[in-house]
Amino acid sequence: GLTGNKGWKPVWREPDPKPEYDIVIVGGGGHGLATAYYLAKEFGMRNIAVLEKGWIGSGNIGRNTTIIRSNYLLPGNEPFYEFSLRLWEGLEQDFNYNAMVSQRSILNLIHTDAQRDAFVRRGNAMILAGADAELADADQLRAELPFLDFDNARFPIKGGLYQRRGGTVRHDAVAWGYARGADSRGVDIIQNCEVTGFDIENGRCTGVQTSRGAIRARKVAVCVAGSSSRVMEKAGMRLPIESHVLQAFVTEGLKPVIPGVITFGAGHFYVSQSDKGGLVFGGDLDGYNSYAQRGNLPVVEDVAEGGMAIMPMIGRARLLRSWGGIMDMSMDGSPFIDKTGIDGLYFNGGWCYGGFKATPASGFCYAHLLARDEPHPTATQMRLDRFISGNLIDEKGMGNQPN
């Protein structure tokens, strides 16, 4: 089908690495590319390289279930995710690329009275931070989503918390849009270039060793998501992060049935419908630590059970594909955007299963930290030492919720 388009030009260059940059970003996922884009666009820095061991989009940015939302509770998180949602709302105009940003809503189902209380509190925290939140009762949901199993004996549906501005975004278009925007501002995106070590002299990071030779840098910014522990180990750092696989699934294309994103409140299952008609869904992590980008069957069964519990009609849909990606699970479910104890070395990670929605704000805030050496006002608590100081951002229930 593309034979008529032989004249198409690649939208970013394939440069060879230069011997030295002002900033070297390790990892060409969504966060690395967004960081490069905002460094160039908002902070006027151009002498930047993004080093990616595979091809851009080969990691989680191209594997996630595309959900965006800002329905967090805690002050350390909610303003940041709302900042991100606002950046999503203007993103396509900003980088002039169709990323199919679709604010089709997200609904968290409520199954108990205690859960309703918790969700009311969360909704109020969201509204206080400038986000939108709306409580729905069971009657409203029965009218809107008649295919849900309201009278399930174990998990009756008693209502839900809507965020109407939540939704989905075409994930790999996000990588391509940021890549093109960064490249056109002079950033070198260097694929097939694995960082194999850090040059650290007298407590200062002066560059990286790579599969394509040594590269010097004034600042080195790591954002390698599921590979965080393995990469930072090369700088002698041990992180409060474990890596696990998260799987996702898509069915054959169906007629439109699900208007937005729906999450199960009594187990791990969430679902939306893609523009091609496939039901896109996921659930819990594979429980063991792993760096393999594939999961195993017990979780497939567990996710399918979650789906059957809230929408039994999903049992009639045939599964087309499933895949896995590696999650950098932090111990309190919240991320890090911080300097390290080594001068010139910065770290961004711990996104757990929720870093796609964070992509714009993560890039913006990391760029802010790199350019000004100060955290962005919405990311002041995402510190690496919070497990020493005890200032956790313990967002169990949202940071720890897949999607």
Half-sphere exposure in the Cβ direction for 68 (13 Å, CA): 32
Among 63, 244, 339, 376, binds ligand FAD (CB under 6 A): 63
| Residues linked to residue 201 through DSSP beta bridges, in sequence order | 204
Residue count (the chain) = 403
**Gap between the Cα atoms of 279 and 281, Å rounded:** 6
In which residue are the tokens 């590269």 written? 215
Angle among Cα 283, 286, 291 to the nearest 5 degrees reads 125
**Two tokens at 336?**
């890090």
Q: Determine if 195 is a binding residue for ligand FAD (CB under 6 A).
A: yes
Among 17, 32, 79, 160, binds ligand FAD (CB under 6 A): 32
CA–CA distance, 347 with 344 (Å, rounded to integer): 10
Which residue number, 197 or 203, has a Cβ lying nearer to ligand FAD? 197
Contact status: 132 vs ligand FAD (CB under 6 A): no
Which residue from 278, 325, 344, 350 is in contact with ligand FAD, where contact means CB under 6 A? 325
Candidates 21, 25, 27, 262; binder of ligand FAD (CB under 6 A) is: 27
What is the number of other CB atoms lying within 10 angstroms of the CB of residue 293?
A: 15
Q: What are the angstrom distances between the C-alpha of 85 and each of 67, 160, 275, 373?
A: 11, 21, 20, 24
Q: How far is the CB of 52 from ligand FAD (least distance, A)?
A: 5
Q: Which helix (H) or strand (E) holds 239?
A: none
Contact 260, 167 (CB under 8 A): yes
- Regarding 59 and contact with ligand FAD (CB under 6 A), the answer is yes
Out of 30, 76, 278, 283, the residue judged to bind ligand FAD by CB under 6 A: 30
**Burial of 184: CB neighbours in 10 Å, binned 0-12, 13-18, 19+:** middle
Whose Cβ is closer to ligand FAD: residue 125's or residue 261's?
Answer: 261
The residue range among 51-59, 83-91, 105-113, 159-167 that interacts with ligand FAD, by the rule CB under 6 A, is 51-59
Residue 395 to residues 74, 241, 314, Cα–Cα distance (Å): 7, 15, 30
Q: Should residue 207 be labelled a site residue for ligand FAD when binding is judged by CB under 6 A? A: no
Confirm or reject binding of residue 273 to ligand FAD (CB under 6 A): no
Task: Please identify which residue in 23, 24, 25, 29 interacts with ligand FAD, judged by CB under 6 A.
Answer: 29
Determine if 26 is a binding residue for ligand FAD (CB under 6 A): yes
Complex with ligand FAD: residue 80 or 351, whichever CB lies closer: 351
Q: Does 269 bind ligand FAD (CB under 6 A)?
A: no
Q: With respect to ligand FAD, which residue has the nearer C-beta, 58 or 381?
A: 58
Amino acid letter for position 133: A
Under the criterion CB under 6 A, does residue 177 sit at the interface with ligand FAD? no
| Closer of 356 and 364 to ligand FAD (Cβ) | 356
Would you say the C-alpha torsion 378, 228, 357, 137 has a positive or negative sign? negative
Q: In terms of CB distance, is 51 or 182 closer to ligand FAD?
A: 51
Which residue among 170, 357, 376, 386 contacts ligand FAD (CB under 6 A)?
357
Among 132, 68, 153, 141, residue whose Cα is nearest residue 109? 141
Does residue 228 bind ligand FAD (CB under 6 A)? no
Q: Is 91 in the site for ligand FAD (CB under 6 A)?
A: no
Q: Write phi, then psi, for 53 (nearest 5 degrees).
A: -70, -30
190 binds ligand FAD (CB under 6 A): no
Which residue of this chain has its Cβ atom nearest to ligand FAD in the complex?
29
Say if residues 14 and 212 touch (Cβ distance below 8 Å).
no
* Residue 197 touching ligand FAD (CB under 6 A): no
67 is an interface residue for ligand FAD by CB under 6 A: yes
Query: Residue 38: which residues within 8 A CB-CB, separation 6 or more?
Result: 363, 364, 366, 367, 368
Rule CB under 6 A: is residue 170 a binding residue for ligand FAD?
no
Ranges within 327-356 binding ligand FAD (CB under 6 A): 351, 353-356
Asked whether position 223 contacts ligand FAD by CB under 6 A, the answer is yes
For residues 337 and 375, what is the distance between their CA atoms, to the nearest angstrom?
8
* Interacting residues with ligand FAD (CB under 6 A): 26-32, 51-54, 58-61, 63-67, 194-195, 223-227, 231, 246-248, 282, 325, 351, 353-357, 403
